[in-house]
Structure 1
Amino acid sequence: MRALAVLVTVLLTVVATLLEFELSALRVGGLTGLFRGETDVWSGAGQLAGLAIPVTVAVNLGLAWFAVATIGRSWAIGVPWALWTLLALGAAGTRTTEGDYLLGGDNWVALVMILVGSVTFAVYAYRMIMKPLKAAPEPS
């Protein structure tokens, strides 16, 4: 069962990370177009929307909780944390065939998302470490 939980955690992490990467390029014009029912929201104009940052925090907290809860071990947080970090750093250093970076250095949302995403896992791990141990029931 743990192996299945690890596999599901890996799959969820990959899907969530790709969604976060896509949201990092969303612009305000595209966001307003989304509410108007337009289908091509990625080519919007204006400033970057920044929606990926709170989504990254929420999703990564969910991934951390899911991994620990389903795998049942405290080391389980390392599975989505390491995979998410490797995907983020890989996307930041990979060029497309046109020569663009997947997560460019001129995209402040992507840079903040990488920082906040990893810090979210670190905070979750820190809270797990600092959680007081449950006292064993006293014998009656």
Structure 2
Amino acid sequence: MTVEEATEQPTVAPREPWAGWEKIIRVAGVVVAVLATVITALIELELTTLRSGGLVNLAKGSSPWEGGGVLIPLAVPVAIGANLAISWFAVTVTGRRWALGPPWALWTLLMLAAAGTRTTEGDYLLSDSNWVALVMILTGSLTFAVYSYKMILKPVAVSDSRLSGSV
């Protein structure tokens, strides 16, 4: 053994900066997806009662929730877009397909609770005469279902097990 070989230090591979953070990122991703679900569900429920007269009031500087006219189905595309974004976010950030379940279940429970809750006057929060609310509940839930179905059809990606743990 030469002097140079004796003084040479063994090389250690540098540690990746995010090594060990996978579980924290997954939990944070699910928490953010659940919070986004609550916020967007409440916005969607508010939008189900928006009427054309409310937009006229908004242009005049008044509250958009007062006024008559026909229902504006703005809640339907908002529900579809928001639920698609939440689904994509939950699955992408966590890297797990099961992450779609908590937002989907929470959204469905919030809509069922809103549809079955009576006010102190005896009225339902979402009445059966509000067709926008009924279509929004149907399309919102179908959005989660279609996203889930597309994930089922997509083959499981084989990845480096050192980075992702398990598939």
Structure 2: distance between partners of 1:67 and 1:26: 29
TM-score (norm 2): 0.75
Structure 1: distance between partners of 2:148 and 2:156: 15
CA drift at 1:12: 0.9
Deviations 1:67-109 (A, max 9, x none): 1112220011111110000000011000111211111111000
TM-score (norm 1): 0.89
Q: Aligned AA for 1:90?
A: A
CA drift at 1:124: 0.5
Aligned to 2:95: 72
Structure 2: distance between partners of 1:118 and 1:37: 35
1:13 and 2:40 matched? no
CA drift at 1:32: 3.4
- Secondary structure of 1:40's aligned partner: coil
Q: What does 1:25-44 align with in structure 2 at a 5 Å threshold?
A: 25-34=49-58, 36=59, 38-44=61-67
Aligned to 1:122: 145
Q: Aligned AA for 2:119?
A: T
Structure 2: distance between partners of 1:94 and 1:45: 24
Structure 2's unaligned 5+ residue stretches are: 1-23, 160-167
Residues 3 and 132 (structure 1), Cα distance of their counterparts in 2 relative to 1, 3 Å cut: closer
CA drift at 1:44: 2.1
How many residues align? The count is: 135
Structure 1's unaligned 5+ residue stretches are: none
Q: Aligned AA for 1:68?
A: V
Aligned to 1:106: 129
Bigger mean CA offset, 53-62 vs 37-46: 37-46
Structure 2: distance between partners of 1:37 and 1:65: 38
Aligned to 2:154: 131
Q: Is the 8 A contact 1:31 1:49 kept in 2?
A: no
CA RMSD of the aligned region, Å? 1.6
Q: Aligned AA for 1:4?
A: A
Give the number of the structure whose alpha-carbon radius of gyration is greater. Answer: 2
Give identity over the alignment, percent: 59
